Structure 1
Amino acid sequence: PIERSTSKKDNVRGRSKENKYLNENSGAKIQKINEARGYGQYKGDNIPQFRNKRDIWTINTTSFRGNHYAAFPPKLAEICMIAGCPKGGIILDPFIGSGTVGLIALLHNRKYIGIELNEEYVNLTKKRIETEVKKLGKEKEDTV
C-alpha cells in the first residue's frame, strides 16, 4: 500500500457580492508593516495602518475536551465571521458539530442557526454554549 502524508492545510471558501470585507479591522485586516513612507507613496500621516489578510493564514490548533473528532480552532470561525457577517447578522451552520461557530457567533453578537442530525452533537453544543454563557455572565435568553 502507498502511504500518503497528512495535509497540514485546510481550504476555506467564501463568496461575497462585494469585493471587500466588512469594515471591522479586528478580524479581516491585520497590522501592516509600513514601508510606503520611505518610497514617497503617501504624504504625511495618511498611510494605511491595516491591510487585508492574504490567502494563506496561520492559525494554531486548539484542544477540545468534548466528544467530537473534528473540532476546528475558534479563531478560524472568528476571522470568517467578522469579515463576512455584520453585528446582528445571522450565521447559518448546516453542520453544528462541536458548536464552535455557534459559540463564536454568540461572543461576537451575531444570531445563529445551527442544523445537526446527530443528537449527541446537538446536546454537546447546548452544554458548551450554556457553560460559556455562564462564564461570561450573559443573559441566557435566545442563546440555545
Structure 2
Amino acid sequence: MTRVWTVPMLIVLCGSAVAAGLFRQGSPGTAAALLLGFVLLAGVNSPLIFPRSIGLLEARRRSAADGRPIVFWRPGCAYCQRLRIRLGRDAHRLHWVDIWRDPAGAAAVRAVNEGDETVPTVFVAGRPYVNPDPQWVREQLAPPV
C-alpha cells in the first residue's frame, strides 16, 4: 500500500518545499497557486483517480461473467492516466488490476510482454493489448449489435 502513495507524497513534499520558499520571499499568492498545482498533480498520480483495483483472480471471474475487459495498470504511469482520463465515466465499467498490489497481476503482464511490466495492458476476451487506444477500449465496452 505504501508503494502506491510514494510518488504522490514526493510530489506534495516537493511542492510544499518550493511553496515555502516562495512564501518566505514574499509571494504568498504564487506559493498558494503553486502548491495547489502540486496537490492536483499528486492527485492525478495517486490511486484516487482510478477505480478500485481488484485482484487478478477476481478480475478474471468478473470478466468471464460480464465480458468486460481487464486493465492492468500501476500508479504513476502516464499512459495509464491517459487511458483512465480519456475513458471518463466508462473507466468504471472495466476491471482494474494494480500490478504493484497484485503479484499475480504483475506476473500475467510479464508473461505477455516478454518479461516487462508494460502497462496499461488490456485483456479483452483473453487476448492482451498493450497500451491500446482509449477509443478502441471504449468500443470493447459497447454491447454487440
Shorter-chain TM band? under 0.3
More helix by share: 2
Normalising by structure 1, we get a TM-score of: 0.26
Structure (1 or 2) with the larger CA radius of gyration:
1
Normalising by structure 2, we get a TM-score of: 0.26
Q: Which has the higher contact order (CA 8 A, sep 6+)?
A: 2
